[in-house]
Amino acid sequence: MIEYQTKAAIAYDVIFSKISSGSYKPGSKLVIRQLSKELNISEIPIREAIKKLESEGYVVHDANKSVTVCSWGLEEVTHFFQIKGVLEGYASRTSAIFLTDDDIAVLQEINDEMKVACQNRDFSRVSSLNQRFHLKMYEKNPNRELVQLIESLWRKWAVTKRVFSISPDRAYHSIVEHDEIIRLIKERKVDELEAFVRKHKFEAGEEMVAAVTDRS
């Protein structure tokens, strides 16, 4: 039983990673038999992984019972970033007083690493570091339910982490904005911090939607 669960988890992680990275594009068909061969995992745990992905809204069974990667509407993306803006703005505000000088130094280090990754046009790394930056901000927030909700949104909408690959300009803008976030944390300007983080998220969504629209 333990082995079966482990294989289902492995299948889920691999398929989820390929969906969120764009390797499996919206509208593509996922063939369970083919996935079984590719991952060297039997079809039963593959089906279990697909079932979980469907419950999370990443894939859907159509009328022919085939599995298709879901498409994300631009309105949905906009709403997602708005939700994140409100939640993370508040989380930033309530986290700031708990962040030490060492914590702030780590935030600066992460942002400096983002600058290097951006210069190297390694947008996958930029995305990973960006997530680390924001979650580090909330690490000591006593409202764990809020933090867990934010973490679940990062995971559920992992597809939006491609914003930097879709809109490289957003990567540069984010780095500059992170410097401002760090300054506001240092000065404990929590009102300005909450408003700024909210705007930071809203604009990320707007730039992603604009970039996708230009490509279509």
Distances (CA, A) of 134 to 11, 12, 67, 128, 145: 28, 25, 33, 10, 16
Contact (Cβ atoms closer than 8 angstroms) between residue 54 and residue 95 = no
Q: Is the model's pLDDT at 2 over the cut of 50?
A: no
Domain boundaries, the chain: 2-69, 74-215
Name the one residue in this structure whose structure tokens are 């046009």: 121
* Spacing of C-alpha 170 from chain mean position: 14
Tell me the backbone φ, ψ of residue 61, rounded to 5 degrees.
-90, 125
CATH class, 74-215 region: mainly alpha
Determine the average pLDDT of the residues in 30-36.
Answer: 91
Q: Is residue 117 helix, strand or coil?
A: helix
pLDDT at 118: 93
pLDDT at residue 216 tops 60: no
Note the pLDDT tens digit of each residue in 183-200: 999 999 999 999 999 999
Question: Residue 130's closest CA among 144, 142, 115?
Answer: 115
CATH number for 2-69: choose from 3.40.190.10, 1.10.10.10, 1.25.40.10, 2.40.50.100: 1.10.10.10
* pLDDT, mean of residues 112-137: 93
Instruction: Measure Cα distances from 119 to 77, 90, 94, 129, 168 in Å.
Output: 27, 31, 33, 14, 11
SS3 59: strand
pLDDT confidence bin for 182, thresholds 50/70/90 = very high
Three-class SS state of 80: helix
d(CA 202, CA 200): 6
User: Model-level pTM?
Assistant: 0.74
Which of the four pLDDT bands, split at 50, 70 and 90, describes residue 62?
A: confident
Mean pLDDT of 129-136: 95
Kindly give, in sequence order, each residue whose CB lies less than 8 Å from that of residue 77, ignoring residues fewer than 6 positions away.
Answer: 160, 205, 208, 209, 212
